[in-house]
Amino acid sequence: MNEASGENDSPTLSAARELSALRAQTAQARAELKRLQRDIADAEDRLGRTEAAQLLEANEHLVVGILRAKTDAETAAQALSAVSRSAAFDALTQLPNRVLLLDRFVQAIANAKRRGLRVALLFVDLDNFKEVNDTLGHAVGDRVLKRVARCLESSVRGADTVSRHGGDEFVVLLTELAEAADAGRIAEKVLAALAAPDVVFDQVIRVHASIGISIYPDDGEDADMLIGPADAAMYRARRRGRGSFAFSERARGSAAGSK
């Protein structure tokens, strides 16, 4: 009985062993599958972090690039503004130079034609500036020129233009004048402002000037035509003595009360 039973149990035991092996293989396969799933999840997580880091780095580079471009654009704009200003303004006095004066003169003439008004050009030459440079030095001379520029600007209206013509010469464009005599009254105001004593580097400075006046349309219709008569009138004023003004030959007839 025992031998027969052992023979009959052999297939059962064999099947049991095979089933156990299969179960072990299945468990091992499941464990391997879980490990692979964790590896895949870890890889996806690492990849996501890498992509996020790469995106953040790219955004940082983009922001830096934009800021640099903005800075470069602002620097270029400032440089362009400085170049434009240097081309239109006198470096020492910061007054409009001849180029800007001529541009404003064209506009003033066009407006005067439309409205039936006059335009005046004042040629201002300092009488004693060489003495200042020779006795007190160029540093004081430069300060005096700056002070003259401010005096001229404060003596005219906002619509007028004060320009440095060169050296100690200045040109003033007076717009929208009802009559020529108005230019004479402004010239008197300019001379009074310049003659007021001022202290420059502990030195009391008194500046005197001679002014020649030309008038549109009496003397011409552009700046070049008006500068010549105004310059000649300035020399006639200087012959009268310091601190004088004179109208051009053609303008004197229409300037009541002119000197």
Strands of the sheet with 169-177, listed across from one edge: 161-166, 169-177, 118-126, 209-216, 244-247
> Is 168 tagged catalytic?
yes
CB 243 within 8 A of CB 195: yes
Q: Please list the residues that pair with 164 across neighbouring strands.
A: 170
Q: Which of 125, 160, 168, 218 is catalytic?
A: 168
The chain-wide mean pLDDT, for the chain, equals 82
pTM: 0.67
Q: Give the residue from 144, 149, 152 showing the smallest Cα distance to 128.
A: 144
What are the tens digits of pLDDT across the range 41-94? 666 666 666 665 666 566 666 666 666 766 766 665 555 455 445 568 999 999
Question: Where in the chain are the domains?
Answer: 1-88, 98-254
**Helix or strand (DSSP H, E) at 122:** strand 118-126
DSSP 179-218: STHHHHHHHHHHHHHHHS-EEETTEEE---EEEEEEEETT
Which fold would CATH assign to domain 98-254? Alpha-Beta Plaits (3.30.70)
